[in-house]
Amino acid sequence: MVNKKDNNDFMPTVAIPPGETIRENMEYLGMNQKELAARLDITPKHLSNIINGNAPITYDTALKLELVIGPSAQFWMNLETNYQLNKARLEKQKRLYIDLEILKEIPYKEMSEFGWVKETNDRIERVFNCREFFGVAELSSIKPSYAVAFRTHKQVREISDFGVLAWLRRAELKGLNVEVKKFNKRKLKSLIPTFRELTLKEPAEFYPEMKRLCAECGVALVLVPYLPKTYICGATIWRNNKAILSLSVRGKRADVFWFTFFHELAHLINHSSNEFHISFDNEDGEDEADHLASNYLISEKQYKNFIEEYDYTDKIQIINYSHEIGISPCILLGRLQHDKLIGYQYYNDLKPSFEIVRS
């Protein structure tokens, strides 16, 4: 039985084992399985497995069948080959149906707009393009290939797991193409003051320098466009003993960009190599990396001094103190707002948005 597919190939609806033909010949010759097994010099159990498609017809068995019931060894081998091919085709079709369902969860339109995959409306072509993009034989293998924990958030919202995985895969592919030196945790930590100074510069100046400094420490810094319903700010991925630090520039706000960058630095510096991490927007709780990132940017001593000795609600004093300690005012303002000392509706002109030309 066959079923005509859309691409004009023929797809069987069932794979018929050659054992059916053996059974027909047994009936025609008036033999039972025990007698035929004896004539073929094989066990009745093995013959039963062949008849039921649980064991293949080997060259040796085909030659025996040729002698016992005919017509030729080639005939039996052709039946076996066709059976195995049809089984493989049906299994392949089954996996395709599963992948077509998974495809519904993948943000293909946005991925094609970014140039990650080819633009097409053909769903089967989309499946094959996604398989190639993710580097998997079938889309059901994507999740197991990443040790990703999808976190709970303060706000009840639907997170696209496959969107997150697509974003991570793009970061991985970009990062693998970045040439870096051997990872050096000590050197990376020593550059924190230099990275702090870069917060005072414009994107066209600070980003190339960030990339260069990271590469010197064995870190591939990449930017990956934000995908809807992922809420990703950044991530640290390890591939081939290379650290990949990826940022989404979600919201394009300077304070979020810098905090995420230092948050990921904290993971690279203080946690073991090959540890996977994702930073989501508005995550629950304060983790160790949040605390470290805050202190990398503004030390506890500096922050406490400002709160106790200055009018921390005054815009001019925020600007002046930030410049005094060598940090962008958006960093200090963001921390004050996070600690609920200043409302989020105030002084947002100090938190500029920007576009980094990706290279």
pTM to 2 decimal places: 0.75
pLDDT > 80? residue 2? no
Every domain of the chain and the residues it spans: 2-103, 108-143, 161-350
Give the architecture-level CATH label for domain 2-103: Orthogonal Bundle (1.10)
pLDDT > 70? residue 148? no
Q: Residue 319's pLDDT is what?
A: 95
pLDDT digits (tens, 9 = 90+) for 60-85: 999 999 999 989 999 999 999 998 89
Give the chain as a 3 state SS string.
CEEECCCCCEEECCCCCCHHHHHHHHHHHCCCHHHHHHHHCCCHHHHHHHHCCCCCCCHHHHHHHHHHCCCCHHHHHHHHHHHHHHHHHHHHHHHHHHHHHHHCCCCHHHHHHCCCCCCCCCHHHHHHHHHHHHCCCCHHHCHHHCCCCCCCECCCCCCCHHHHHHHHHHHHHHHHCCCCCCCCHHHHHHCHHHHHHHCCCCHHHHHHHHHHHHHHCCEEEEECCCCCCCCEEEEEEEECCEEEEEECCHHHEHHHHHHHHHHHHHHHHHCCCCCCEEEECCECCCCHHHHHHHHHHCCHHHHHHHHHHCCCCCHHHHHHHHHHCCCCHHHHHHHHHHCCCCCCCCCHHHCCECCCCCC
In the predicted model, what is the mean pLDDT of residues 317-322?
A: 95
Q: Residue 357's pLDDT is what?
A: 62
pLDDT digits (tens, 9 = 90+) for 104-131: 999 999 999 999 999 999 999 999 999 9
